[in-house]
């Protein structure tokens, strides 16, 4: 992605102000991405905790297989 000064909105200053504006936009986007990632992790953690644990497997499970059709 290429960000040039021509794509930025008109600003009163010149030179480094466009770079500062771009850095501020990038920082804001990184914060939003981080918040979304944390929400995703928290959502996954809460849903896995709410799931019922698997039933215990007995030693005889699967020993008898019906092969007659």
Q: What percent of the chain has pLDDT over 70?
A: 58
What average pLDDT score do residues 5-11 get? 56
- The answer to whether position 31 is within a domain reads yes
- The answer to whether position 50 is within a domain reads no
pLDDT value, residue 23: 93
Residue 20 has pLDDT above 60, yes or no: yes
- The answer to whether position 29 is within a domain reads yes
Total number of domains in the chain: 1
pLDDT value, residue 28: 97
Residue 47 has pLDDT above 80, yes or no: no
Q: What angle do CA 22, 1, 6 make, to 5 degrees?
A: 55
Q: Which domain, by its residues, includes 34?
A: 13-45
Residue 67 has pLDDT above 90, yes or no: no
- The answer to whether position 21 is within a domain reads yes
| Burial class for 22, CB neighbours closer than 10 Å (0-12, 13-18, 19+) | middle
CA 24 to chain centre: 21
Per-residue HEC secondary structure of 11-68 comes to CCCCCCHHHHHHHHHHHHHHHHHHHHHHHHHHHHHHHHHHCCCCCCCCCCCCCCCCCC
What average pLDDT score do residues 13-29 get? 87
- The answer to whether position 22 is within a domain reads yes
């Amino acid at each position: 992605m290429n960000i040039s000064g021509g794509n930025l909105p008109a600003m009163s200053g010149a030179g480094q102000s466009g770079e500062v504006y771009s850095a501020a936009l990038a920082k804001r986007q990184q914060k939003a991405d981080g918040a979304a990632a944390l929400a995703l992790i928290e959502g996954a953690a809460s849903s896995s905790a709410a799931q019922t644990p698997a039933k215990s497997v007995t030693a005889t499970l699967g020993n008898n297989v019906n092969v007659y059709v």
